[in-house]
């Protein structure tokens, strides 16, 4: 059995990569993928603690995180399509206002 610390280190690494992507990237697609990495890191933590404590609560919350991530992708891709249609590129710094 893998100790829970390994899962926590993996989740910290995945979350760090996602946070780095959110803070440094200007492309909206990279931004969306980085947010997905951070949500997956949270899901890994939920599963690790669920395994450690021996109950199903963490896995239940992981299902909610997966559903939230799917909804976030649907809304995010819609925003990205509108951003590309109106500005011709996916740079999030160009869309500083809600009007164009």
User: Is 96 within the bounds of a domain?
Assistant: no
Quick check: is 77 in a domain?
Answer: yes
Q: Quick check: is 93 in a domain?
A: no
The reply to whether 92 falls in a domain is no
Q: Is the pLDDT of residue 100 over 60?
A: no
How many structural domains is the chain composed of?
1
- Give the CATH number, domain containing residue 34: 1.10.287.3510
CA 12, 14, 20, 23 dihedral sign is: negative
Mean pLDDT of 70-87: 91
Range in 27-36, 48-57, 91-100 with the lowest mean pLDDT: 91-100
Task: Give residues with Cβ within 8 angstroms of 10, minimum separation 6.
Answer: 44
- Domain membership flag for residue 95: no
CA dihedral 88, 89, 93, 94 (to 10 degrees): -20
Quote the domain boundaries for residue 8: 4-87
Q: What is the mean pLDDT of residues 84-91?
A: 86
Hey, which of 14-18, 76-80, 86-90 has the most confident mean pLDDT?
14-18
Q: Give a yes or no: residue 99 inside a domain.
A: no
* 31-56 per-position pLDDT tens digit: 999 999 999 999 999 999 998 888 89
100 falls within a domain:
no
């Amino acid at each position: 059995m893998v100790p829970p610390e390994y899962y926590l280190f993996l989740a910290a690494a995945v979350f760090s990569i996602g946070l780095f992507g959110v803070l440094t990237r200007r492309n909206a697609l990279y931004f969306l993928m980085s947010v997905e990495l951070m949500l997956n890191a949270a899901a890994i933590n939920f599963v690790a603690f669920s395994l450690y404590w021996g109950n199903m609560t963490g896995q239940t919350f992981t299902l909610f995180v997966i559903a939230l991530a799917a909804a976030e992708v649907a809304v995010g891709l819609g925003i990205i399509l509108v951003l590309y249609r109106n500005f011709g590129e996916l740079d999030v710094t160009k869309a500083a206002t809600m009007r164009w």
